[in-house]
Chains A and B, each alone.
Chain A
Amino acid sequence: MSALCLVAALSGCKADAPSGLETRTATFAKHHIFIRNASQRNPQQYTHDSWQDGKEAFSHYCVACHGADGQNTGVPFATHLSPPVPSLASAEVQSYTDGQLKYILDYGIRPSGMPSSKGTLSDDELWSIVIFLRHLPKLGSQGVPDMYTH
């Protein structure tokens, strides 16, 4: 009996892909309840320089999970997490407002693997990352992150 309970408990911990219902529920909750600052505007305008700033800041902290293109290219575990690492070009991510994207960068998303960046990156850098997210490079165009090529 105890062995049966142990097996049941361990199978409950298995990182299966979330069902469609789970995904839809979580997406709704994030967009409408948990992720705040929907009305906050990005104080920075899109320019080549601000995009470059965003790309550089993104390369310090985000590429490990999201790849250099923001679309998981070369990230070996991207599909093995539950929930899997989303492509930042996806409609689910792009439908957040700029303020919500900044909020996610600031505070992360619990209980997913998305961590907080507040204090690790400056506000300036985080807003420039939002610009980079709105103008992501083409899928695969940035190659595999260095850390996964050794």
Chain B
Amino acid sequence: MKARFVLLVLLAGVFTAGLFSTHKVKAQAAPKRIEITAKKFAFDPGTVTLKKGEPVVLVIKSADVAHGLRFRELNLNVKVGKGGTAELPLTPDKTGDFVGHCSVFCGSGHGEMTMTLHVVD
């Protein structure tokens, strides 16, 4: 009987600790949202500084036609419809400068439509 009681108390303790730790993780994981406007033929801002290991969501808003944002090195790609919004969640796991390109053909300056993620420690 006593053993069963101790086991029950232990289980309750583990369960409670689990609840709190989940809560803590959730609070930590709320990612920062960074708005980026895409329009012919530039992203604004053109450079975003991020911290390695810190989750963020890039919120891409198109101000005109359909665009995209692709970071080949990071294996990330998102497309946004004409006048629409799309989200690109990411957690950079290495430092450096990563250049993203528009990944949806949008006209004569499409090839020069880039933005840089500057990831620091």
Contacts and interface: CB of A to CB of B under 8 A. Distances in A.
Interface of A: 57, 60-61, 117-126
A122 B101 contact: yes
Contacts of A125: 101, 111
30 contacts: A57-B105, A60-B105, A60-B110, A61-B105, A117-B111, A118-B111, A119-B108, A119-B109, A119-B111, A119-B112, A120-B108, A120-B109, A120-B110, A120-B111, A121-B105, A121-B110, A122-B101, A122-B102, A122-B110, A122-B111, A122-B112, A122-B113, A122-B114, A123-B111, A124-B70, A124-B72, A124-B101, A125-B101, A125-B111, A126-B111
Contacts of B70: 124
A60 B109 CA distance: 13
A126 B109 CA distance: 14
Interface residues of B, number: 12
Contacts, number: 31
Contacts of B72: 124
A126 B112 CA distance: 12
B78 to A, nearest CB: 15
Interface in B39-95: 70, 72
B67 to A, nearest CB: 13
